[in-house]
Amino acid sequence: MKVMVVGSGGREHALAWKLAGEDCVDKLLAAPGSAAIAQCAECLPVAADDVEGLVSVALERGVDLVLVGPEQPLAAGLVDLGRERGLKVFGPGRDGAQLESSKAFTKTLLDEAGVATARWAEFTQVAPARAFAEELGLPVVVKADGLAAGKGVVICEDAEQVDEALISMLEGGRFGEAGARVVVEEFMCGEELSFIALTDGRTVLPLATSQDHKAVFDGDKGPNTGGMGAYSPAPVCDQAMQALLLSDVLEPTVAALAARGIDYRGVLYAGIMVTDEGPKVLEYNVRFGDPECQPLMMRMRGSLAEAALACVEGTLDRVRLDWADDAAACVVMTAPGYPGEYSKGDVIEGIAAANELDDVKVFEAGTSRDDDGRVVSSGGRVLGVTSTGGNIAAALHGAYSAVSAISWPGAHYRRDIGHRALDSGASA
């Protein structure tokens, strides 16, 4: 089949790399893709948020399956327009994409479905939001309702931070329209995990378990980012936990969406906090996680293209995905200053050498090529250095060995990716 991947980041590089190695994929396109993705796909000069352009080029090129990477095109209605014009597009429509584009929508749906989550309320004014935060008690979490590139969640330790978060979003326009409404919720203690599945609106097929690290600094300190690293499998999510999350979280969510008349097909990604009271939903995403996608694609042995097509066609019950016994780990290297203001255009050395190491793949997220063909930084999260190994410790060793081969001025990365897994004894 002819497949087109939408997007240009590290997640899309991983998806394209996986699809390029599948026998059922005769031709692979990417829009807009990147210089790195161009090594395994034909890149088309169409922006990921150009819904009309994406549909038009997919029709012109006779694409059999469009696989959407980022959330923005889904929220903008790419799937809806594609379906109208006869395309098979993997992902939810605009109505289903509200699971990620509106925190308040998700919280309301979870309450309807009886799925455990934090106590919460939504606000458009600072004063009532402040009063609710005081009622919950510190620490408290303030979330921009809309899409904020993984940066719209603020954990507030004191009243001053609560005020700063509320005022910056509701009055200061920190996240634009995405922060014009906020969700204030209780802070949940526990271990966080990513539980990602595919669904065709009826069947829910979990992927291998994974866990990411959102804080920018070691020890889970500092502001949240889009993700500083990830690994798979996640020891906290054993078979009993997987069964519980499937029966008590994902399946009720899909049923609640269907009850609203929402035909949800694509990725269903639950961010879960495993608390002393049991697992609770932090949030939903409607696409593959980034950087969770990178280790997942390294471990996946079944066909991603065939599974995605089955979601679109409603035949997911016939699909089985196999996973390598090896673990995989991804260490994200960022530009200095990220997630705040960061530099661009720094020449990156060592990617080729890192890719020559056994069981290593460097997925490029925020890179481009200069006039001399050199790899230069062009985004905040620059590289996702990923490796497989016999266990998580071995996978992490491989990833960090590859990281040590790569350099550019001020490059930053966490040195404790996988610490929870290692503390649990998963290195055996």
**Residues forming a β-bridge with 120:** 185
User: What's the CA angle centered on 318, arms 312 and 324, to 5 degrees?
Assistant: 95
Q: Are residues 338 and 304 in the same domain?
A: no
Q: Is residue 95 part of a domain?
A: no
pLDDT at position 111 over 80: yes
Find the largest Cα–Cα distance for the chain: 58
Write down which residue in 143, 159, 180 finishes a domain: 180
Separation between Cα atoms, residue 134 and residue 127, nearest integer Å? 11
The stretch 346-366 carries a mean pLDDT of 98
Summarised one tens digit per residue, pLDDT across range 373-393 is 999 999 999 999 999 999 999
Write down which residue in 318, 341, 376 finishes a domain: 318
Q: Are residues 84 and 10 in the same domain?
A: yes
pTM for the structure as a whole: 0.94
Q: Is residue 336 part of a domain?
A: yes
CATH number at residue 81: 3.40.50.20
What pLDDT shows up at residue 423?
Answer: 85
Q: Are residues 166 and 244 in the same domain?
A: no
The whole-chain average pLDDT of the chain stands at 96
CATH number at residue 152: 3.30.1490.20
Q: Are residues 312 and 386 in the same domain?
A: no
What pLDDT shows up at residue 146?
Answer: 92
Q: Are residues 7 and 66 in the same domain?
A: yes
Q: Are residues 196 and 310 in the same domain?
A: yes
Summarised one tens digit per residue, pLDDT across range 230-263 is 999 999 999 999 999 999 999 999 999 999 999 9
Q: Are residues 176 and 279 in the same domain?
A: no
Q: Is residue 101 part of a domain?
A: no
Q: Are residues 195 and 310 in the same domain?
A: yes
What pLDDT shows up at residue 428?
Answer: 44
pLDDT at position 185 over 50: yes
CATH number at residue 314: 3.30.470.20
Q: Is residue 174 part of a domain?
A: yes
Q: Are residues 235 and 201 in the same domain?
A: yes
The stretch 180-207 carries a mean pLDDT of 96
**Residues forming a β-bridge with 7:** 32
Separation between Cα atoms, residue 98 and residue 176, nearest integer Å? 17
Write down which residue in 90, 116, 149 finishes a domain: 90
Q: Residue holding tokens 């809309």?
A: 146
Separation between Cα atoms, residue 344 and residue 364, nearest integer Å? 14
pLDDT at position 224 over 90: no
Q: Are residues 175 and 194 in the same domain?
A: no
Amino acid at 232: S
The stretch 203-226 carries a mean pLDDT of 94
Q: Are residues 310 and 332 in the same domain?
A: no
Q: Into how many domains does the chain fold?
A: 4
pLDDT over 90, % of the chain: 95
Q: Are residues 194 and 303 in the same domain?
A: yes
Summarised one tens digit per residue, pLDDT across range 406-416 is 999 999 999 99
Closest CA to 140 of 118, 125, 111, 124: 118
What pLDDT shows up at residue 90?
Answer: 98
pLDDT at position 36 over 50: yes
pLDDT at position 126 over 50: yes
Q: Is residue 110 part of a domain?
A: no
Q: Is residue 115 part of a domain?
A: no
Distances (CA, A) of 365 to 266, 343, 377: 22, 15, 9
Summarised one tens digit per residue, pLDDT across range 276-307 is 999 999 999 999 999 999 999 999 999 999 99
Structural domain including 392 reads 327-423
What pLDDT shows up at residue 424?
Answer: 77
pLDDT over 70, % of the chain: 99
41 three-state secondary structure: coil
pLDDT at position 87 over 80: yes
Q: Is residue 42 part of a domain?
A: yes
The stretch 38-65 carries a mean pLDDT of 98
Strand runs (DSSP E) across 145-190, as ranges?
153-156, 182-186
